[in-house]
Amino acid sequence: MNGITHKVLYLFCLGFLGCTVGKKDQSGSTFQEADIANVKLKELDDQPLNLAQHKGKTVFINFWATWCKPCIQEMPTIESLQVKLKDEKVIFLLASNEDPDQIEKFIKNHSYKFHYVHLENMEALKIQALPTTFIYDTEGKLKFSETGYRNWDDPENIELITKIMNGYEK
């Protein structure tokens, strides 16, 4: 194989492995370092985002990328869920470790009404594929984590989040 073929094969594998469609529930095991205090986020204007300010609310963080097809396919279901839970004490954040300019470009080309933030420490959180979603309870404890696409506005998933909001285990 020539150099170009190797590069194309490498990029294909990187894209395939970095983005996943399958559901793999990894609650509490792989993501132990994902305590809410260890999630380092900034607003797109480079201002720090203190997640402690959301104590008393459920925090839904979806980790995504502009190049990740399953991430983008999942967004309408997250938006629908966000609308359905608009009167509840739940915060939705979409976090990417891409350059804020790249995220801003994505925002301009899509009409989703999300609170987009920049993730500072993806490796420290042991996020190995996208999309990945963390849901924290009102005390900031990680109650749900999953890598892969999920239809978030499905009744079963609304029940999952409702149980976390109400203090019930998954």
Domains in the chain, please, with CATH?
20-165 (3.40.30.10)
Q: Summarize pLDDT for 63-108 with one digit per residue, the tens.
A: 999 999 999 999 999 999 999 999 999 999 999 999 999 999 999 9
Report the b/e string of 90-101 with b at 16+ CB within 10 A: bbbbbbbbeebe
**Are 107 and 116 in contact, with CB atoms under 8 Å apart?**
yes
Q: Summarize pLDDT for 119-155 with one digit per residue, the tens.
A: 999 999 999 999 999 999 999 999 999 999 999 999 9
**Are 85 and 77 in contact, with CB atoms under 8 Å apart?**
no
Between residues 4 and 8, which one has the greater pLDDT?
A: 4
Instruction: Output the pLDDT for position 34.
Output: 76
Q: How far from 128 is each of 12, 63, 65, 81, 122, CA to CA, in Å?
A: 16, 11, 12, 25, 8
Rg, C-alpha atoms of the chain: 16
In sequence order, the 6+-apart residues with CB closer than 8 A to the CB of 42 are 48, 49, 117, 118, 120
Q: How far from 123 is each of 40, 48, 111, CA to CA, in Å?
A: 11, 18, 29
Q: Summarize pLDDT for 20-73 with one digit per residue, the tens.
A: 433 344 344 455 567 899 999 999 999 999 998 999 999 999 999 999 999 999
d(CA 150, CA 75): 10
Is the preceding omega at residue 131 within 30 degrees of 0, hence cis?
yes
Alpha-helix runs per DSSP H in 85-154: 100-109
48, amino acid identity? P
* Residue 97: both structure tokens together: 């470790």
**Are 20 and 147 in contact, with CB atoms under 8 Å apart?**
yes
